[in-house]
């Protein structure tokens, strides 16, 4: 075997001419690998979240083969391995509960195995964030291939969008404006191919932000899952990761504070999901970057909404890609970006955008003619959310962004489901629906239930939006005037825990304030009473106990406290 001037990480296993090297090579040869593939060439791990129970990622098994082609072509050895797969639409109580578990799986799989670089194959809402968090704590050369959005939904000659139209249709059924037969008929036309939501939900938002961060090839954020060009992109990604290993370009060389701020600005321009707040904060905690909740507000204040795409607009991801995708968006907003931020291809963001074009100014608007002036994430502070809360202004009714209303309180999701449609519920359109017990510890896992369906009796009166407030999240496909991520959460003893029916709550969006209109003395008296109550632990074993005991609050990305930071890629002890 050849001796490298600088031994690769994989050669600590495959390059040794002793008992340990014999063991490592011999067992791999059981799969038909010949001698020469262990000659010191880069060994590339393909970290795959393929699963038949994760529909968003069901195409990744095939896509991995195209990545392998590129790796072989560039002189590397591709080795695919599975990790936990999180089906956003399938897992209970919520996929977010297991994002950190996936990150642990990814981190230890990368660190423990003899690989020199890694390709992350993911796409569903929590798979790519969890993969990135785990990979960041090892910090090898890393590149991403996303599963891509599914084709536009179709129903009776109209385009319909994942999630976004589900919420609309559901409300129409409850209001008596849509039949159950039509509702079920729309179901088959919505998800017509493999891939993630074709709205700008969390999955498509994250793949766009991965592109904004420079961690993938151009158009990874928008190419449809079933487009042959995604297969070609996977092939070229395989070639690129081999070069990254040759040049020793690590994940931390690409993801810096500047690239994170670029991602926040891009999130505003594309009308991205509020869930990215959690994921970018958690990723920054792994990399030791000083990203804060306030950065999401300050960095997006001057960024208008440029992409006319559901849930904040009219079009879908196919239309967005054909219009020019993220390169076209970033070129139009280039004045707001750090153009010298680096990408996995070795070029800067500015260099990558030189040849970008927009082919449809209706879908991707100019900065001077935006879809909306207000976009991004507003970060709220006040006595109801000492550690912050957020609202997505481009998804809200403008008149409700400054509002004072009477609280209608639900102590749990079960309480909400039992009473929301009760004719005797004391509620009108000026009230604020308040949901407790849905934060990281309380649910556990912080589910996407913040966009509470409105009371049936109000829907029947024609009401289509109300101010809603909780310690939960909401789907990136959702819309409405919804205050989310209230921190500390109710189950951690935050002020939300002591809100009562009839309390007045004041939101002043332009001033970024959220307050419970009671005195400081009464608030402290209520909190002291809450703290004095004896509560039995909900979970006494397993991962759920580990999660509840160690999870951080929303303003810190809801990572587990002991997972922040990095352990690196070194493993000094042999296995035999």
Q: What average pLDDT score do residues 411-428 get?
A: 97
**Tens digits of residue pLDDT in 95-118:** 999 999 999 999 999 999 999 999
Would you state the pLDDT for residue 4? 45
Q: What string of H, E and C letters represents the secondary structure of 28-79? A: HHCCCCCHHHHCCCCEEEEEECCCCCCHHHCCHHHHHHHHHHHHHHCCCEEE
pLDDT band at 6 (very low <50, low <70, confident <90, very high): low
Round to whole Å and give the CA distance between 100 and 434: 27
User: Which backbone phi and psi does 435 adopt, to 5 degrees?
Assistant: -120, 130
Q: Got the DSSP string for 137-196?
A: TT--SEEEEE--BPPPEEETTEEE-TTHHHHHHHHHHHTTSS-HHHHHHHHHHH--SSSB
Residue 223: closest CA among 213, 232, 236: 232
pLDDT over 70 at 2, yes or no: no
Instruction: Give me the residues paired with residue 348 across strands.
Output: 342
Q: What average pLDDT score do residues 544-554 get?
A: 97
Would you state the pLDDT for residue 167? 85
User: Which backbone phi and psi does 52 adopt, to 5 degrees?
Assistant: -75, -10
Q: What average pLDDT score do residues 402-431 get?
A: 97
Q: Return the percentage of the chain with pLDDT > 70, whole number.
A: 99
Average the pLDDT over each of 155-164, 313-322, 503-512 and give the range with the smallest value: 155-164
As a dihedral over the C-alpha atoms of residue 77, residue 83, residue 86, residue 92, rounded to 10 degrees, the angle is 170
Q: What average pLDDT score do residues 411-420 get?
A: 97
Q: What average pLDDT score do residues 519-541 get?
A: 95
Would you state the pLDDT for residue 367? 96
Would you state the pLDDT for residue 235? 98
Q: Sketch out the chain's domains with CATH numbers.
A: 1-37 (no CATH), 41-152+192-302 (3.40.50.2300), 159-189 (no CATH), 378-535 (3.50.30.80)
Would you state the pLDDT for residue 7? 81
Instruction: Give me the residues paired with residue 404 across strands.
Output: 506
How high does pLDDT run on average in the chain?
96
CA distances to 130, 251, 414, 437 from 486, rounded to whole Å, are 22, 31, 19, 11
Residue 23: closest CA among 86, 158, 114, 142: 114
pLDDT band at 84 (very low <50, low <70, confident <90, very high): very high
User: Which backbone phi and psi does 235 adopt, to 5 degrees?
Assistant: -60, -50
Would you state the pLDDT for residue 1? 39
Contact 194, 147 (CB under 8 A): yes
User: Which backbone phi and psi does 533 adopt, to 5 degrees?
Assistant: -75, 140
Q: Would you state the structure tokens that stand for residue 453, as one six-digit string?
A: 């369906």
Q: Would you state the structure tokens that stand for residue 53, as one six-digit string?
A: 């129970």
Q: Return the percentage of the chain with pLDDT > 90, whole number.
A: 94
pLDDT over 90 at 374, yes or no: no
Q: Which residues contact 208 (CB under 8 A, 6 or more apart)?
A: 200, 221, 222, 266, 267, 270, 272, 326
Contact 520, 527 (CB under 8 A): no
Q: Label residues 438-452 b or e (16+ Cβ within 10 Å = b).
A: bbbbbbbbbbbbbbb
Would you state the pLDDT for residue 575? 86
Q: What average pLDDT score do residues 267-278 get?
A: 96
Average the pLDDT over each of 1-5, 160-164, 247-251 and give the range with the smallest value: 1-5
pLDDT over 70 at 539, yes or no: yes
pLDDT over 80 at 515, yes or no: yes
Q: Would you state the structure tokens that stand for residue 103, as one six-digit string?
A: 């990150």
Contact 453, 466 (CB under 8 A): no
């Amino acid at each position: 075997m050849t001796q490298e001037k600088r031994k690769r990480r994989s050669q600590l296993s495959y390059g040794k001419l002793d008992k340990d090297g014999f063991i490592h090579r011999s067992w791999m040869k059981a799969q038909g690998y010949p001698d020469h593939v262990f000659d010191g060439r880069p060994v590339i791990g393909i970290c795959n979240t393929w699963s038949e129970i994760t529909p968003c990622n069901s195409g990744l098994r095939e896509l991995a083969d195209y990545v392998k082609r590129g790796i072989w072509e560039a002189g590397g050895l591709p080795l695919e391995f599975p990790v936990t797969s999180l089906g956003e639409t399938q897992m209970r109580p919520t996929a977010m509960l297991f994002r950190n578990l996936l990150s642990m799986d990814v981190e230890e799989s990368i660190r423990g195995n003899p690989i020199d670089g890694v390709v992350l194959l993911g796409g569903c809402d929590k798979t790519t964030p969890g993969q990135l968090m785990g990979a960041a704590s090892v910090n090898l050369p890393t590149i991403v291939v996303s599963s891509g959005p599914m084709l536009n939904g179709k129903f009776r000659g109209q385009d319909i969008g994942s999630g976004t139209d589900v919420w609309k249709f559901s409300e129409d059924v409850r209001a008596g404006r849509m039949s159950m037969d039509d509702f079920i008929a729309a179901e088959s036309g919505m998800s017509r191919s493999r891939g993630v939501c074709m709205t700008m939900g969390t999955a498509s938002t994250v793949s766009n932000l991965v592109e904004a961060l420079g961690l993938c090839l151009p158009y990874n954020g928008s190419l449809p899952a079933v487009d042959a060009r995604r297969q070609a992109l996977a092939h070229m990604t395989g070639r690129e990761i081999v070069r990254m290993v040759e040049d020793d370009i690590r994940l931390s060389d690409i993801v810096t504070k500047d690239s994170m701020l670029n991602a926040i600005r891009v999130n505003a321009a594309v009308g991205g999901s509020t869930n990215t707040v959690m994921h970018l904060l958690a990723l920054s905690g792994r990399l030791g970057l000083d990203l804060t909740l306030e950065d999401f507000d300050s960095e997006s204040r001057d960024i208008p909404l440029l992409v006319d795409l559901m849930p904040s607009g009219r079009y879908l991801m196919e239309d967005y890609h054909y219009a020019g995708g993220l390169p076209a968006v970033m070129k139009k907003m280039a004045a707001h970006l750090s153009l010298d931020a680096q990408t996995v291809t070795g070029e800067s963001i500015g260099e990558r955008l030189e040849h970008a074009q927009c082919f449809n100014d209706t879908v991707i608007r100019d900065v001077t003619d935006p879809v909306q002036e207000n976009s991004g994430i507003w970060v709220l502070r006040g006595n109801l959310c000492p550690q912050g809360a957020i609202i997505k202004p481009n998804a809200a009714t403008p008149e409700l962004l400054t509002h004072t209303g009477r609280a209608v309180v639900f102590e749990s999701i079960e309480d909400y489901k039992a009473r929301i449609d009760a004719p005797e519920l004391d509620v009108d359109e000026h009230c604020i629906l308040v949901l407790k017990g849905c934060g990281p510890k309380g649910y556990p896992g912080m589910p996407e239930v913040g966009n509470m369906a409105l009371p049936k009796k109000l829907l029947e009166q024609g009401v289509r939006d109300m101010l809603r407030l909780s310690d939960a999240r909401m789907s990136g496909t959702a819309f409405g005037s919804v205050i989310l991520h209230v921190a500390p959460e109710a189950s951690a003893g935050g002020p939300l825990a002591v809100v009562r029916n009839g309390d007045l709550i004041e939101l002043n969006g332009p001033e970024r304030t959220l307050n419970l209109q009671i005195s400081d003395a009464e608030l402290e008296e209520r909190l002291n009473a809450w703290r004095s109550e004896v509560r039995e632990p909900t979970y006494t074993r397993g991962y759920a106990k580990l999660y509840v005991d160690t999870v951080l609050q929303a303003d810190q990305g809801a990572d587990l406290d002991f997972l922040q930071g990095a352990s690196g890629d070194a493993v000094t002890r042999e296995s035999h």
